[in-house]
Structure 1
């Protein structure tokens, strides 16, 4: 594995993670109704840090391999939807619009896992916890949406 590639992929994950700092959960999120099985707040940064390290590892393992075009495309798509979800859910507070973003993220992670497995067992395996977590996140996203039917997105002024 090329260490420079690892740090480039890690930089991409830090870019996605930065949306969490730009759009924190805040008081608004605390007021939402949530299912009883929502993980405690401390779990989220621990899980995401682990996932970001794993997918940076996966990307770096396969990036230089012959035939890695689809794996790299799925890697790019998943990190793009990963970065998009937080501003839609927490920034715009648009629970409904976050659902298709989450669906696209789930499909992109699945595609990344499959294409990485096709090139390297360990790279594919590194995506498994991500797919599990995104499945949990999608269920949580949907549950919060259903439990808060009157929640309206932020009304942004026309720019």
Structure 2
């Protein structure tokens, strides 16, 4: 049963991740001023694949346990917000709303991690790298907002 659940959760993660292919960064993002701590491009797909496996494993473990309602609700919320950020930030090129989405994602991941920890500490720990990555993503989004006031005012950079 675990492996069936794992595949379902992994499919949800990959579905959220597919928005990156639908809304790639492109010239708009390259034209923005980015902070010094922006990771190189190759880091993103590698990190996300590792995180998706951790997220799917945590979800599959908790889904099999009694009293998992709150944890599963937060799992669903975080994957929805995860899938929403890319279309908002890269598709709509809206840095400000992207920041609100990623901050909501951070809260959902943190609360989900806590809810999972109460049921299965291993699953809670599996969300720790995700929370760290979303913390970095939030800081990146906030820094891009701060460093590109022209893009924030216009909703798009003047290219």
TM interval, shorter chain, is over 0.9
| Partner residue in 1 for 2:135 | 135
Give SS of 1:150's match. helix
Q: Residues of 1 paired with 2:36 and 2:103: CA distance?
A: 22
Write out per-residue CA displacement over residues 46-78 of structure 1, whole angstroms, 9 at most, x where no aligned residue.
111110110000000010211000000000000
Q: Residues of 1 paired with 2:4 and 2:155: CA distance?
A: 41
Residues 1-159 of structure 1: pairs in structure 2 closer than 5 A: 2-151=2-151, 152-153=154-155
TM-score of the superposed pair, with normalisation by structure 2? 0.95
Offset, 1:30:
0.7
Write out per-residue CA displacement over residues 13-46 of structure 1, whole angstroms, 9 at most, x where no aligned residue.
0110010000001111111000111111100111
Q: Residues of 2 paired with 1:25 and 1:4: CA distance?
A: 33
Structure 1 gaps, min length 5: 155-159
Write out per-residue CA displacement over residues 115-150 of structure 1, whole angstroms, 9 at most, x where no aligned residue.
111111111110000000000000000000110001
Runs of 4+ in structure 1 deviating by more than 2 angstroms, as ranges, are none
RMSD of aligned alpha carbons: 0.9
TM-score of the superposed pair, with normalisation by structure 1? 0.95
Structure 2 gaps, min length 5: none
| Partner residue in 2 for 1:157 | none
For these two proteins, the number of residue pairs brought into alignment is: 154
